């Protein structure tokens, strides 16, 4: 075989490279991403594959940072670029200058990816969100100073509460650098002394116009804000990542302004309504207490006790009257029989001593009877009383006791509170005493 021309490896590689670059100065290639790797320099390397073939792809850092969504293995994409040869290894590869996800827009995919990421971190959880203040004095607003949103917010706030103090942080709300300015505004007003709540937003627009509020730095700035944040982006149908992270989402900037403060009339009516409700609750509570006291006073135990006290009082009066009558009779007898004065004096002394003994014995009997009738005497025998409602209502029947209720149990020496675990209304008291007696 005749060798008319011999090429070096470099020459062959150069010829192939030139041919490919001339044949494919710009080409769209569809495939599935595999072997994705991002170098420390920011350059991205991956493969595009289909059922039969694989082609290597390179994306320089300047291009990679413009991609709104995250490339990852398994993602089906359409790449635009040129085909050339990496001469040191002789590999042909696609040099990518644009990537689009297949089947949906890049911004929509980026939105979904970031939403899933932040949701997994818990930034959307309701438990971490702060409540709006009832009566804010100072409101911070992060938005464009020339947009329709700030005019709507100021008009509503002015109409509803003219004395409200408003601090505006001017920021770009779309285009390059907008996300950074919004983050600066949130951080600055969050640290501003006296700021009670923040409104962050803008008027409506396309997904591209609203995109600054879908960027991760803005979402994280809202999440770390020390004061509550209301997201007021676009119209009611517009939904952004900021809406999910914010403490409250408003459908429009005007709605955010209406949400952040109540009118003076509504606030006054709310206070009046609460005062009326409190008064009614107090009246009902006092009525219940009066009824309980009346029921307790009418109980037969206390009625019998009062009757017996009255009877004992009458007996004491009778004994006292009898004693006075006897003394009066003896004095009269002494007056009639002056001759027997010494004998009468001795007799009178004996009678007085006897009466004193009788009175003392009667007093001791009365005292013993009163002690026996006292509820404390019942407690001394080992019984106890059960009280409800913090010790205000005596439980007289098993029907008065309900489960999970806290009761107060009083003994002769002390008392304790207990929570009722269960109530058995079928068990008879006699059966328990019979068991103890056996």
Regarding whether 168 and 67 lie in a shared domain, the answer is no
What is the domain count for the chain?
A: 4
Q: Would 257 be classed as within a structural domain?
A: yes
Is the model's pLDDT at 388 over the cut of 60? yes
Helix, strand, coil shares, percent, the chain, to 5: 50, 20, 30
Q: Would 110 be classed as within a structural domain?
A: no
Mean pLDDT of 407-425: 82
Regarding whether 324 and 210 lie in a shared domain, the answer is no
Q: What is the pTM of this model?
A: 0.48
Predicted confidence at residue 162, as pLDDT, reads 59
Predicted confidence at residue 156, as pLDDT, reads 86
Is the model's pLDDT at 365 over the cut of 80? no
Predicted confidence at residue 270, as pLDDT, reads 77
Q: Would 353 be classed as within a structural domain?
A: yes
Q: How far is CA 177 from CA 172, 173, 174, in A?
A: 7, 9, 8
Regarding whether 98 and 145 lie in a shared domain, the answer is no
Regarding whether 73 and 36 lie in a shared domain, the answer is yes
Regarding whether 309 and 232 lie in a shared domain, the answer is no
Q: Would 208 be classed as within a structural domain?
A: yes
Sign of CA dihedral 95, 99, 101, 104: negative
- Angle between helices 341-373 and 300-336 in degrees, nearest 10: 180
Of the listed ranges 94-98, 375-379, 407-411, the least confidently predicted one is: 375-379
Regarding whether 391 and 333 lie in a shared domain, the answer is no
Regarding whether 195 and 73 lie in a shared domain, the answer is no
Mean pLDDT of 20-44: 86
Is the model's pLDDT at 244 over the cut of 60? yes
Q: Would 288 be classed as within a structural domain?
A: no
Q: Would 340 be classed as within a structural domain?
A: yes
Of the listed ranges 31-40, 101-110, 116-125, the least confidently predicted one is: 101-110
Q: Would 415 be classed as within a structural domain?
A: yes
Q: Which helix (H) or strand (E) holds 35?
A: strand 27-38
Q: What is the mean pLDDT of the chain?
A: 80
- Where in the sequence is the domain holding 36, given as residue range(s)? 9-103
Predicted confidence at residue 266, as pLDDT, reads 64
Regarding whether 133 and 61 lie in a shared domain, the answer is no
Mean pLDDT of 84-92: 84
Regarding whether 245 and 199 lie in a shared domain, the answer is yes
> What size, in residues, is the chain?
438
CATH, residue 30 = 2.40.50.140
Domain boundary among 327, 346, 373: 373
Is the model's pLDDT at 52 over the cut of 80? yes
Regarding whether 254 and 168 lie in a shared domain, the answer is yes
Predicted confidence at residue 436, as pLDDT, reads 54
Regarding whether 181 and 203 lie in a shared domain, the answer is yes
Regarding whether 244 and 133 lie in a shared domain, the answer is yes
Q: Would 112 be classed as within a structural domain?
A: no
Banded model confidence at residue 301, pLDDT cuts 50, 70, 90: low
């Amino acid at each position: 075989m005749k060798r008319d021309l011999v090429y070096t490896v470099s020459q062959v590689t150069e010829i192939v490279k030139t041919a490919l670059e001339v044949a494919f100065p710009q080409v769209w290639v569809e495939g599935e991403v595999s072997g994705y790797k991002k170098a420390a320099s920011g350059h991205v390397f991956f493969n595009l594959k289909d059922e039969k073939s694989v082609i290597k792809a390179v994306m320089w850092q300047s291009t990679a940072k413009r991609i709104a969504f995250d490339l990852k293995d398994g993602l089906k994409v359409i790449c635009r670029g040129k085909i050339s040869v990496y001469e040191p290894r002789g590999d042909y590869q696609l040099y990518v200058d644009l990537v689009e996800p297949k089947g949906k827009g890049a911004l929509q995919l980026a939105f979904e990816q970031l939403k899933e990421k932040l949701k997994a971190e818990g930034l959307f959880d309701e438990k971490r969100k702060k409540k709006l203040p009832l009566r804010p004095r100072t409101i911070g607003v992060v938005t464009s100073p020339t947009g329709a949103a700030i005019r709507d917010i100021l008009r509503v706030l002015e109409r509803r509460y003219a004395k409200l103090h408003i601090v505006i942080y001017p920021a770009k709300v779309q285009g390059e650098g907008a996300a950074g300015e919004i983050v600066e505004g949130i951080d600055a007003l969050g640290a501003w002394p006296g700021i009670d709540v923040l409104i962050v937003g803008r008027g409506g627009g396309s997904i591209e116009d609203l995109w600054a509020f879908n960027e991760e730095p803005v979402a994280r700035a809202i999440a770390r804000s020390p004061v509550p944040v209301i997201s007021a982006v676009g119209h009611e149908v517009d939904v952004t990542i900021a809406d999910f992270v914010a403490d409250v989402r408003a459908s429009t900037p005007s709605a955010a302004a209406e949400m952040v403060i109540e009118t003076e009339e509504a606030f006054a009516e709310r206070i009046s309504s609460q005062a009326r409700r409190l008064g009614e609750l107090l009246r009902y509570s006092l009525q219940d207490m009066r009824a309980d006291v009346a029921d307790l006073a009418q109980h037969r135990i206390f009625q019998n006790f009062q009757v017996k006290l009255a009877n004992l009082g009458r007996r004491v009066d009778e004994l006292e009257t009898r004693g006075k009558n006897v003394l009066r009779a003896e004095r009269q007898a002494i007056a009639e029989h002056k001759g027997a004065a010494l004998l009468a004096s001795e007799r009178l002394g004996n009678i007085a001593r006897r009466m004193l003994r009788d009175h003392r014995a009667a007093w001791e009997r009365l005292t013993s009877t009163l002690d026996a009738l006292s509820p404390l005497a019942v407690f001394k025998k080992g019984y106890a009383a059960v009280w409800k409602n913090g010790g205000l209502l005596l439980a007289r029947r098993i029907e008065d006791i309900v489960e999970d209720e806290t009761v107060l149990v009083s003994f002769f020496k002390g008392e304790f509170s207990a929570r009722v675990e269960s109530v058995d209304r079928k068990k008879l008291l006699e059966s328990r005493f019979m068991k103890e007696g056996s």
